[in-house]
């Protein structure tokens, strides 16, 4: 009798604790404190600026800032879940923008939005790391000297709508499970591109006026890459002959260990693609 009573008491206590826990969690999950953080700094000179952006979840828009502004950060976030950092290190001329989850929290019901405006007057070295982000990086008009882009499960678009005022000396792209589209890549005047994909998709659209030859170093696990290249550019693809890879190269001819587009030898501009892949797919579109 006593044991049954204690068992009932134990079940009741567990129920109370579980209910209390559920209430605490639901209260925590429901608690939101949406805030808007704005930080901007006037541009006083044209010295190079390094930007380190690490952004977990939400939407991102990177764009040219107003003239006279070095950077303009606008972040809408839930202060109950996210801890943002926006700091300017004058010595190294580095802008760090970071968001960090504050402990273990359920996803916010609202949307975190980050808009980052950058100066068009100074050369920029961009280091962008994204988690699960819907991103639009409009680099048109910016003087981007280098871009290191890494994303987990993001869907991102990088665009160069007009010819860059500064050649993109370094372009490194790493995509995990998401999608990355780079548009107007010829406008960026990048000579060498390093791109790697996990299970995601990479689209490199080389639209725009070409000013020189391009080398693309492509590493794919089981993802796919699509390169859009103008018809007048000669393309040479050097791929390891693994039968699990898939190459979609319409009209290309075998040249030793490589595949070349018709008229490659006489083309005024050329692109060389070095592919390392396990189960990946490479497709080249001509338009």
Partner 1 sequence: MMRRILQLGLAAAALVTGLGAQDRDLARRLDQARGLSGIQGLPSADQVSIGNRTIAAGALVKGPVVVARGALEVVGEIDGDAVVLDGDLYIRSGGLVRGQAVALGGKVELDGGRVDGEIRSLVTAADIAAAAAERTQRTRIQKGAVLAASLVLLLLLGIATTLIAQPALDGVATELERDFGRALLVGFLAELALTPVLGLAVVGLALTIVGILLIPFAIVAYALAVAGLVTLGVLGVARLIGAALGGDSARRLSASGASLRAVVIGAAVLMVPWGLMLAGGAVWPAGEWLLGIAAAGVSWVAATAGFGATLLSRVGMRPVRASASREVPVDQYAWATPTPVTGVAAARRPVATSGAAR
Min separation Cβ 75 and partner 1, Å: 10
Residue 141 DSSP label: T
Alpha-carbon distance of 112 to 128, in angstroms, equals 17
Nearest to 207, CA basis, from 189, 188, 235, 229: 229
Measure the CA angle with vertex 76, ends 71 and 82; round to 5°: 105
Beta pairing partners, 88: 95
Under the criterion CB under 8 A, does residue 100 sit at the interface with partner 1? no
Min separation Cβ 88 and partner 1, Å: 6
Min separation Cβ 87 and partner 1, Å: 7
Of 88, 150, 191, 279, which lies in the binding site for partner 1, with binding defined by CB under 8 A? 88
Under the criterion CB under 8 A, does residue 248 sit at the interface with partner 1? no
Give the helix/strand (H/E) hosting 237. strand 233-239
Min separation Cβ 68 and partner 1, Å: 11
Q: Which two tokens stand for residue 278?
A: 């396990």
Beta pairing partners, 171: 147, 193
Min separation Cβ 39 and partner 1, Å: 4
Burial label, 245 (beta-carbon count in 10 A; 0-12, 13-18, 19+): middle
Pattern of binders to partner 1 over 27-56, x per CB under 8 A? ------xxxxxxxxxx-x------------
Of 45, 66, 87, 257, which lies in the binding site for partner 1, with binding defined by CB under 8 A? 87
Place of tokens 């502004």: 69
Q: Which is nearer to partner 1, 86 or 279 (CB)?
A: 86
Give how many residues touch partner 1 by CB under 8 A: 15
Q: Which is nearer to partner 1, 37 or 283 (CB)?
A: 37
Candidates 86-94, 136-144, 156-164, 208-216 — which segment interacts with partner 1 by CB under 8 A? Answer: 86-94
236 with 259: CB under 8 angstroms?
A: yes
What are the residues binding partner 1 (CB under 8 A)?
33-42, 44, 76, 86-88
């Amino acid at each position: 009798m006593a044991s049954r009573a204690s068992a009932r008491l134990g079940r009741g206590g567990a129920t109370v604790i579980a209910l209390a826990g559920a209430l605490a969690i639901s209260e925590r999950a429901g608690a939101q404190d949406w805030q808007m953080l704005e930080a901007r700094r006037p541009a006083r000179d044209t010295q190079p600026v390094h930007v380190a952006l690490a952004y977990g979840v939400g939407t991102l828009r990177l764009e040219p800032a107003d003239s006279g502004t070095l950077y303009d950060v606008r972040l809408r976030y839930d202060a109950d879940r996210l801890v943002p950092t926006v700091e300017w290190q004058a010595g190294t001329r580095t802008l760090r923008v970071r968001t960090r989850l504050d402990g273990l929290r359920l996803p916010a019901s609202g949307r975190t939005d980050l808009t980052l405006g950058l100066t068009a007057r100074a050369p920029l070295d961009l280091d962008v790391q994204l988690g699960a982000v819907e991103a639009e990086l409009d680099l048109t008009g910016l003087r981007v000297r280098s871009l290191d882009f890494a994303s987990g499960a993001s869907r991102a678009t990088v665009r160069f709508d007009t010819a860059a005022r500064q050649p993109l000396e370094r372009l490194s792209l790493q995509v995990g499970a998401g999608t990355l589209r780079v548009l107007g890549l010829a406008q960026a005047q990048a000579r060498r591109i390093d791109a790697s994909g996990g299970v995601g998709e990479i689209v490199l659209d080389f639209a725009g006026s070409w000013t020189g030859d391009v080398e693309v170093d492509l590493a794919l696990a089981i993802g796919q890459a699509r390169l859009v290249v103008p018809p007048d550019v000669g393309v040479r693809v050097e791929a390891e002959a693994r039968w699990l890879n898939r190459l979609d190269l319409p009209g290309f001819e075998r040249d030793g260990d490589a595949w070349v587009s018709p008229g490659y030898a006489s083309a005024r501009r050329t692109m060389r693609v070095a592919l390392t892949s396990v189960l990946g797919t490479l497709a080249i579109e001509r338009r």
